[in-house]
Chains A and B, each alone.
Chain A
């Protein structure tokens, strides 16, 4: 069903048709703001973003800068399955896979780049990840940099765990964790 709302467009009155009065009223509004802000610049709602961090609202579903979770031994949980790269609608993820000689997780990302200047912060990569290796919960807002190159996140910049985080989900991680555990018992 399409709901129709009738807007009652009043015809212009004689004073309005001359424009000048309305123009003057418009100028009054803008000038009021101009002078108020001119003499009280502190009263403006604008903040200086990268320097002045803006408080993030609550614990709402907030997608922020990516991170790659790590296992107990510091290796990335990511196994370079390319699911995030496949799911990414902005083509901002670039992965190059490599092989572990020993670890039964076999595969790891030798290169894992996220180009934040292309990222649309949609969270598809997090949804797609079968190993629970990528997350967007750092609560850091990307942007506000002086060079585009600063927006290219490489693997080392992405690797980080939040305090007290277990890392168990995913088949390859199961294998890797068993391997780690076995190594610990030896």
Chain B
């Protein structure tokens, strides 16, 4: 019976099993990395400000320069009082953190973190959901995160939380537009809206030696994308949604792990933005001059490599690029002062949007001219 069933549906079962493994591995890696990122944020900011940063949480007297702080934070979040305001919409108040967290986690399904690996003769794609239009899914799902913000603020039944939520929604909706438009140029150049296909397309060389990364085709789009992505991520200099110290944000009534979920979502989004920037503009898992069989340098020499080594190098390159962008986003967050809300909106609608449209126009013109 079972054997028969397996025979009949082997490909689907195999696909499902592989997907489940990939999801588990990727989720765990992401979660671990997020925890470290919370520590990194504090450490990086400390180093930028000539401080040492957290280094006190210890286990049996061993502090490892603050390595246990994410654990301590997690325990603190879990054991703090889970407060629900008396007049809050209980259901939505409880759901809002999930609305913030789930779409962000779902987005990782579309990110290609490597090319493929051959496992027992089975070609394992290093991407969870291989879709021809995954870029659109990315935009669609990141749009869903807005619900977390707005439901959180509204269900708290607190005027300040509601104001914070409305600011947040206005900001996210606005920058969503720019975010989408900056990517149009890339789609025109690479002729595809699938993320894996885009990364593969970036494996070509430009002028024979330059890696064909999106940033070299679309430098303006990259700057616009990064700006819009930080704004979408609600981090300084665009953190008016929270405005921790002075204007208060949508999650002011949240405490304990519910608040933790919002905060976690924010850090996961940092990773996501880093991965997207890597994938779209910095060649994803591509290592310059590394092909399926090994390195082929522009000056003619070659270095043949084993298939697994190549796959490891590529995934490693993807991770390294992601870490770099995560760090860069932290540095940006601790360098720039916050915008005023009118400045924020003016920047979006009067600067970024026209520039994004212009970028599409120029890209189209150049592509047409080259044809």
User: Interface on A for B, CB 8 Å cutoff?
Assistant: 20, 23, 26-27, 29-31, 33-34, 37-38, 41, 44-46, 48
**Distance A41 CA – B65 CA, assembled complex (angstroms):** 12
Is B190 close to A, CB under 8 A?
Answer: no
Is B49 close to A, CB under 8 A?
Answer: yes
Cβ contacts under 8 Å, A34 to chain B:
44, 47-48, 331
7 A-B pairs within 8 Å (CB atoms) are namely A29-B335, A33-B48, A33-B50, A34-B48, A34-B331, A44-B51, A46-B52
Partner of B335, one of A30, A41, A45: A30
Tell me the interface secondary structure of chain A in the complex. Answer: helix
Please determine whether B335 and A44 come into contact, CB atoms closer than 8 angstroms: no
Please determine whether B48 and A30 come into contact, CB atoms closer than 8 angstroms: yes
A-B pairs with lowest CB-CB distance, top 6:
A37-B47, A30-B335, A30-B48, A26-B335, A34-B48, A46-B52
Please determine whether A44 and B50 come into contact, CB atoms closer than 8 angstroms: yes
**Distance A44 CA – B53 CA, assembled complex (angstroms):** 11
Most interface-central of A33, A37, A38, A41 (chain B CB within 10 A): A37
Please determine whether A30 and B334 come into contact, CB atoms closer than 8 angstroms: yes
| With known contacts A20-B223, A23-B336, A30–B50 Cβ distance under 8 A | no
Is B305 close to A, CB under 8 A?
Answer: no
Please determine whether B51 and A27 come into contact, CB atoms closer than 8 angstroms: no
Is B144 close to A, CB under 8 A?
Answer: no
CB distance from A153 to the nearest CB of B (A): 24
Cβ contacts under 8 Å, A48 to chain B:
52
Please determine whether A46 and B51 come into contact, CB atoms closer than 8 angstroms: yes
**Distance A20 CA – B336 CA, assembled complex (angstroms):** 11
Cβ contacts under 8 Å, B52 to chain A:
41, 44, 46, 48
**Distance A27 CA – B334 CA, assembled complex (angstroms):** 9
Please determine whether B47 and A38 come into contact, CB atoms closer than 8 angstroms: yes
CB distance from B66 to the nearest CB of A (A): 12
Please determine whether B50 and A27 come into contact, CB atoms closer than 8 angstroms: no
B53 closest partner in A (C-beta): A46
A29 closest partner in B (C-beta): B335
Cβ contacts under 8 Å, A46 to chain B:
50-52
Please determine whether A31 and B331 come into contact, CB atoms closer than 8 angstroms: yes
Cβ contacts under 8 Å, B336 to chain A:
23, 26
Please determine whether A27 and B223 come into contact, CB atoms closer than 8 angstroms: no
Is B332 close to A, CB under 8 A?
Answer: yes
**Distance A6 CA – B122 CA, assembled complex (angstroms):** 75
**Distance A33 CA – B331 CA, assembled complex (angstroms):** 11
Please determine whether A33 and B335 come into contact, CB atoms closer than 8 angstroms: no
CB distance from B324 to the nearest CB of A (A): 13
**Distance A34 CA – B48 CA, assembled complex (angstroms):** 4
Partner of A30, one of B51, B223, B331: B331
**Distance A132 CA – B69 CA, assembled complex (angstroms):** 46
